Amino acid sequence: MFLAGKRALVTGSTSGIGLAIARALRAEGAEVVLNGFGAAEEIAALRDELGASHSAADLTDPAAIEAMMAAAGQVDILVNNAGMQHVAPVDEFPPAKWDQIIALNLSAAFHTMRLALPGMRARGWGRVINTASAHSLVASPFKSAYVAAKHGIAGLTKAAALEVAQHGVTVNAISPGYVWTPLVENQIPDTMTARGLTREQVINDVLLAKQPTKSFVQPEDVAALAVFLCREEARNVNGANWSMDGGWTAE
Ligand code: NAD
């Protein structure tokens, strides 16, 4: 329970990776503030499970982020995790979708950090963990906004890390490859139908084509790394972009 007395705000924590991180931080004693969309009864169940509060802030809206941060109060651990994807060629990419992805996957982290870092610096302790992606290091076609935002958050992570390095605060990114979340799992039946493939072919030849281990990262694996980054032993891990992609970006 080494995080007892710390408060963690995890964006996009009603599902997938963010939820796993929220659970893992709670298991180490942190007080958790959830954020993200979902059915009211499911969010209520998560609040009960984690003894957490919840903000429904739409993080594409800077004013909503300011309200969320004001309501959260002292934030010792900030996990910028909320994200979305859209797949289309550059010349067909809807400009509004570009703006939305940059706002959520990149600018939201700037806004939460600019509001959370002064308190962390003043208290002499803080952890910022940004869920980036293998796409912060390499590109795939048709994912221009996502790749641009994820490369951007890798740079934002480094710049902020340098600014707070002498104040007991670290800023790091975690870059997963394909993670087994409901989002990914739900794509499989449609992909089987669209491509005329078996479930195994979709998993191995489509989803895991770039992942040398041919296995999915589990949300709990990412969460375990996030917990490690909060430990005192990780105090000199700063400005890092830690891959957890089965070797994808080693090629
Ligand atoms: P997910 O869809 O399961 O969860 C996304 C979360 O973000 C949900 O809680 C959702 O409600 C929230 N969210 C969406 N739009 C929001 C908005 N406008 N404001 C506030 N919250 C919003 O996705 P996931 O797979 O758990 O992904 C989480 C993060 O991990 C994302 O940043 C994603 O880019 C990154 N990532 C995922 C994978 C993967 O394979 N699943 C791989 C690499 C990186």
Between CA 117 and CA 101 the distance in angstroms is: 23
Q: Tens digits of per-residue pLDDT, 129-156?
A: 999 999 999 998 889 999 999 999 999 9
60 & 169 share domain: yes
pLDDT at 76: 98
Q: Which atom of ligand 1 is nearest to the CA of 38?
A: 11
104 shares a domain with 200 = no
Q: What is the pTM of this model?
A: 0.96
Torsion of CA 118, 124, 125, 130, to 10 degrees: 40
Write the pLDDT tens digit of every residue in 175-196: 999 999 976 787 788 778 877 8
Predicted confidence at residue 138, as pLDDT, reads: 97
Query: Out of 10, 14, 146, 151, which one is annotated catalytic?
Result: 146
Say which CATH number the domain at 73 has: 3.40.50.720
Higher pLDDT, 191 or 13: 13
CA of residue 201 to ligand 1 center, whole Å: 25
pLDDT tens for 21-31 read: 999 999 999 99
Q: Which two tokens stand for residue 186?
A: 């739900």
- 62: pLDDT strictly greater than 90: yes
Assess whether 162 and 192 both reside in one domain. no
Angle 97-100-106 from CA coordinates, rounded to 5°: 130
Gap between the Cα atoms of 237 and 215, Å rounded:
27
DSSP state of 166: T
For atom 9 of ligand 1, which residue has the closest CA? 12
146 catalytic? Reply is yes
Q: Are residues 51 and 112 in the same domain?
A: yes
**113 found inside a domain:** yes
pLDDT band at 92 (very low <50, low <70, confident <90, very high): very high
Residue nearest to atom 39 of ligand 1 (CA): 179
Decide if pLDDT at 20 tops 80: yes
**For residues 42 and 154, what is the distance between their CA atoms, to the nearest angstrom?**
32
Query: Could you tell me if 28 and 52 are in contact, meaning their C-beta atoms sit under 8 angstroms apart?
Result: no
Name the pLDDT band for 165 (thresholds 50, 70, 90). very high
69 and 120 within one domain: yes
pLDDT for the residue 48:
98
9 Cα distance to chain centroid: 12
- pLDDT recorded at residue 170: 98
DSSP 19-30: HHHHHHHHHTT-
Share of the chain above pLDDT 70, in %: 99
User: How far apart are the C-alpha atoms of 110 and 101, rounded to whole Å?
Assistant: 14
If you take atom 21 of ligand 1, which residue's CA is the nearest one? 36
Report the candidate in 224, 138, 219, 148 with the shortest Cα–Cα distance to residue 182.
219
Tell which residue, 217, 221, 197, 209, has the closest CA to residue 251: 209
Give the per-residue pLDDT at 29: 98
Within this chain, do residues 137 and 184 fall inside the same structural domain, yes or no?
no
Distance CA 98, CA 90 (A): 10
Pair (212, 139) in one structural domain: no
C-alpha 166 to ligand 1 mean position (Å)? 31
Q: Which domain holds residue 207?
A: 180-216
202-248 pLDDT, tens per residue? 889 878 998 999 999 999 999 999 999 999 999 999 999 999 999 99
Q: Do residue 16 and residue 66 come from a single domain?
A: yes
Phi and psi torsions of 111, nearest 5°: -65, -45
